[in-house]
Structure 1
Amino acid sequence: MVRDPFADEEGPNLQSILDALDDPKCRVIVRSLDEPMTAEEIAEAADVPLSTTYRKLDLLTEASLLREGMEIRSDGQHASQYAVDFEEVVVRLSEEREFEVGVSRVARTADERLQDLWSEVRKET
């Protein structure tokens, strides 16, 4: 599932971020992602079963902590790739005594922005 890059105008959901960060396997996956990787590569690097890896990747992308893009292959068998999409997560208490979450994003290169756009186009076709 490719996350819509324009869908997070209100910001990430506090509970989904807390759920993802509370999960030990999600934390292992985030630590393993020093470059974009496919689910299979992540499962191997994190030493997490592939079926579990897919569930954790869904949890992390829904929390807007990972970005899902597309690895374009010359044989036409394209694959999803995942990359860390944050530098910092801050939970704070507002003046109204409500919990808020702020996520500092990783700056994307022009190639990464083009890849995101291409992923969205492929999703629509």
Structure 2
Amino acid sequence: MSLEFSASDETPGLERVIAALDDGACREIIAVLAEPMTVGEIAEATERPLSTTYRKLEYLTEAGLAEEAVGVREGRHRTSRYVANLERIWIGLDEDNELRVDVDHASGADIWADLQGSH
């Protein structure tokens, strides 16, 4: 059985998406990312160390399941915020019996424009 991806070249590999979804900490982070949050807020909400949170967020962004916005001002510092970047994931066999992955990404452009333009 061969692997085929139904979206553009920007779609992460099936293995990367499945590995991220198989990781309990990654799933927990996705669950709290309904609203854009800083790494500190995510670590606090999931009761995970900052180092683990950074590592898992990198994993999620590489898998295309979370998105980072840089440049949000908090005082004199710029702070990144993250948000889940998916609405639906479908993994299954297509008509040729080939394994496929479809990730429907959330429409986050409006969220990021509001965050970056407001400070």
TM-score of the aligned structures, taking structure 2 as reference length = 0.80
Per the alignment, residue 97 of structure 1 pairs with 97
C-alpha distance in 1, partners of 2:111/2:33?
19
SS at structure 1 position matched to 2:73: coil
Residues 76-97 of structure 1 show CA distances to partners (whole Å, capped at 9, x for unaligned) of 4111110010011000113443
> How many pairs are equivalent?
110
Q: Residue 109 of structure 1: CA displacement?
A: 4.3
Structure 2 residue aligned with 1:46: 46
Larger strand fraction of residues? 2
Partner of 2:4: none
In the aligned structure 2, how far is the partner of 1:74 from the partner of 1:38?
11
Q: CA deviation at 1:33?
A: 1.2
Q: How does 1:56-95 map to 2 (within 5 A)?
A: 56-73=56-73, 75-95=75-95
Q: Which consecutive segments of 4 or more residues in structure 1 shift more than 6 A?
A: none
Cα distance between partner residues in 2 of 1:105 and 1:76: 32
| Corresponding position of 1:4 | none
RMSD: 2.3
Amino acid at match of 1:19: A
Structure 1: gaps of 5 or more residues: 1-7, 119-125
How far has the Cα of 1:111 moved from its partner?
5.2
Identity %: 39
Does the CA-based 8 Å contact 2:87-2:106 persist in structure 1?
yes
* Structure 2 alignment gaps of length 5 or more: 1-6
Q: Which residue of 2 aligns with 1:18?
A: 18
Cα deviation for residue 114 of structure 1 reads 7.7
Q: Give yes or no for contact 2:85–2:108 (8 Å, CA) kept in 1.
A: no
Q: What are the superposed Cα offsets for residues 24-81 of structure 1, whole Å, 9 maximum, x if unpaired?
A: 0111111111210111110000111111111100110000000111242164411111
TM-score (norm 1): 0.76
CA contact (8 A) 2:20 2:60 kept: yes
1:113 Cα deviation (Å)? 5.0
Q: Secondary structure of the residue that 2:77 maps to in structure 1?
A: coil
